[in-house]
Chains A and B, each alone.
Chain A
Amino acid sequence: SQQGEEDPQALSIQEGENATMNCSYKTSINNLQWYRQNSGRGLVHLILIRSNEREKHSGRLRVTLDTSKKSSSLLITASRAADTASYFCATPASGGSYIPTFGRGTSLIVHP
């Protein structure tokens, strides 16, 4: 079963705008990861945030984690056409599991 679910399912923005997508999960986690999938390709790891971290940055990416709300957000600042992809969060299959599962993803389209 999928524990993490991304929202919105689809997002369409103009180049230069910020893109925000969210991930909600059901049980406690030790960490949460975000991945990107370009069309027709395998997933690529973006960032991992641990349960004792509230915010993490990597280049134009900012990830937040709110364990009290069981949610995480991925912010892409100053989006580029090359950011067009699907974005997935990975969480444990269940509380205490070491197996990662993925949600349905957010499809981001950045118009040039």
Chain B
Amino acid sequence: NAGVTQTPKFQVLKTGQSMTLQCAQDMNHEYMSWYRQDPGMGLRLIHYSVGAGITDQGEVPNGYNVSRSTTEDFPLRLLSAAPSQTSVYFCASSYSSLAVQETQYFGPGTRLLVL
């Protein structure tokens, strides 16, 4: 199994541009989530999904959209990039929707720089 994969690994955007961060898992996991990690802030939850067609907001959802059309994929869309969205983004998944009781499997991260 490839586990959780994320693309791209690194991206530079200009303010106002849009882009999609890709996340995929091949473990048939129900739960998927997106975090951003900033220095001194730990990991903050952006959006999460408990199954195909079901998404919900986390702690810091503004400026981001998600969809879950398949079990495997959970893309994160930046609608109009802002410098405040410069961060490292991690995707994670777990077997069941009772995520807090499950091991979270993390992807390698996407480093995003917004100029």
Q: Which residues of A contact B (CB under 8 A)?
A: 1-2, 30-31, 33, 35, 40-45, 48, 88, 90-93, 97-105
Contacts and interface: CB of A to CB of B under 8 A. Distances in A.
Contacts of A105: 42
Interface residues of B, number: 26
Contact of A98 (B59, B97, B105): B97
A22 to B, nearest CB: 15
Contacts of A91: 100
Nearest to A105: B42
B42 A92 contact: no
Contacts of B58: 99
B43 interface: yes
Contacts of B59: 1, 93, 101
A80 to B, nearest CB: 22
